[in-house]
Amino acid sequence: MGRPPCCDGNGLKKGPWTTEEDQKLTDYIDKQGRGSWRQLPKLAGLNRCGKSCRLRWTNYLRPDIKRGKFSHEEEQTILRLHSILGNKWAAITKHLPGRTDNEIKNFWNTHLRKKLVQMGCDPTTHQPRDDLLAALPQLIALANLGRLVDDHTARQLQSYAVQAAKLDYLKSLLQSAATIATSPSSSGSISTITTDLQWMGLLSASQSSSLSSLPSPRTMEGTDYQGLVTGQLPDIHIPGTGSSFFQQPITNGSIQNLGYTANSGDGETSFPALPDFSISNLVGACGTSGGDAEGNSSQLPIWSDSYFDQFMTELA
């Protein structure tokens, strides 16, 4: 059964608030303070339920509410906090003075969620979509078996597979790092990860030390997420090339230590250059959209729908 809705059957008004109602509510709270929301409508002369008054006040009339578009910084903060807290809008709101949970929730549902999806990330986990990675070996096997594609396309597929393997491997390294970071007993193991990355030529010594200073589990346990919110992992770039790891061209030879073999045969392949893809993008939340507030993002189209579409088009 449960308690009946507070506005039902009382002849109380619902729906959009008029300016007179807003004025009555504001005047009353200015003079008397908030007090009991239950009693407030009667005392303020409003034909509304207390709940409706509370929502109107907290989401719209409160004097300290910041109006207008979300700044790029606010957007970044929401993305990072959401990757940590999930849909805990009230908790996220505490880090954005002047914004309401309703406003942040709406902004997430109408903008940021779509943005993550477009970036090829799962909006719940903020991780790159595994389904696309998982499908690649089958696609490649299909292409090789059926001889449905020409050599050029086959090489492209192999190249994609290597890229996928790299991403997969890097992801596993990062997951290891994350596990270590949250396990107080394994503090020494982070060096193994950084050594591995260095061995792959992905991390300079200075970047290694930066990686080693990831937020400690103790910081995570407390209420202060600031270290993580503002923290930035180092970008991974190929030394001396000016390009990132995932832009590294696939050339002659094979890469077997990654679990895939890619023989590109006659030199450099011509698959579409993958965009800049840094470790900070991957960890910070597939989570951290680059680009500007207008949505001119510069990040992570890797495995995005359009990228996958292009891939499938070429396969076809």
* Residue indicated by tokens 């004025």: 23
Name residues contacting DNA, limited to 41-70 (CB under 7 A).
50-52, 54-56, 59-60
Considering only CA atoms, which of 183, 203, 185 is closest in space to residue 195? 203
Using the rule CB under 7 A, which residue among 78, 81, 89, 289 binds DNA? Answer: 89
Closest CB to DNA among residues 88, 152: 88
Distance, in Å, from the CA atom of 278 to the CA atom of 244, rounded to the nearest integer, reads 7
Q: How far is the CB of 91 from DNA (least distance, A)?
A: 6
Q: How many CB atoms lie within 10 A of CB 282?
A: 25
Using alpha carbons, list the distances in angstroms from residue 160 to 258, 259, 278, 285, 315.
Answer: 13, 14, 17, 23, 12
Name residues contacting DNA, limited to 170-199 (CB under 7 A).
none
Max CA-CA distance within the chain? 84
Closest CB to DNA among residues 55, 255: 55
Name residues contacting DNA, limited to 251-280 (CB under 7 A).
none
Q: How many amino acids of this chain bind DNA (CB under 7 A)?
A: 36
Using the rule CB under 7 A, which residue among 102, 204, 219, 254 binds DNA? Answer: 102
Closest CB to DNA among residues 53, 193: 53
Name residues contacting DNA, limited to 6-45 (CB under 7 A).
7-8, 14-17, 35-39
Q: How far is the CB of 54 from DNA (least distance, A)?
A: 6
Task: Kindly report the three-state secondary structure assignment for every residue of 18-37.
Answer: CHHHHHHHHHHHHHHCCCCC
Q: What is the DSSP letter of 129?
A: P
The answer to whether the CB of 278 falls within 8 A of the CB of 269 is no
Is residue 124 involved in binding DNA (CB under 7 A)?
A: no
Is residue 103 involved in binding DNA (CB under 7 A)?
A: yes
Is residue 306 involved in binding DNA (CB under 7 A)?
A: no
Using alpha carbons, list the distances in angstroms from residue 134 to 21, 139, 259.
Answer: 56, 10, 14
Closest CB to DNA among residues 65, 255: 65
Is residue 101 involved in binding DNA (CB under 7 A)?
A: yes
Distance, in Å, from the CA atom of 315 to the CA atom of 157, rounded to the nearest integer, reads 8
Is residue 71 involved in binding DNA (CB under 7 A)?
A: no
Using the rule CB under 7 A, which residue among 27, 32, 47, 90 binds DNA? Answer: 90
The answer to whether the CB of 173 falls within 8 A of the CB of 193 is yes
One-character DSSP codes across 264-300? --SS---PPPPPP--HHHHHTTS-S--S-TTS---S-
- Quick one: which segment of 106-114, 155-163, 220-228, 272-280 binds DNA (CB under 7 A)? 106-114
Is residue 117 involved in binding DNA (CB under 7 A)?
A: no
Element (H, E) at 210: helix 205-212
Q: How far is the CB of 108 from DNA (least distance, A)?
A: 9
Closest CB to DNA among residues 42, 152: 42
Is residue 296 involved in binding DNA (CB under 7 A)?
A: no
* Residue indicated by tokens 């005047």: 27
Is residue 125 involved in binding DNA (CB under 7 A)?
A: no
- Residues at the site binding DNA, with contacts judged by CB under 7 A: 2-3, 5, 7-8, 14-17, 35-39, 50-52, 54-56, 59-60, 87-91, 101-103, 105-107, 109-111
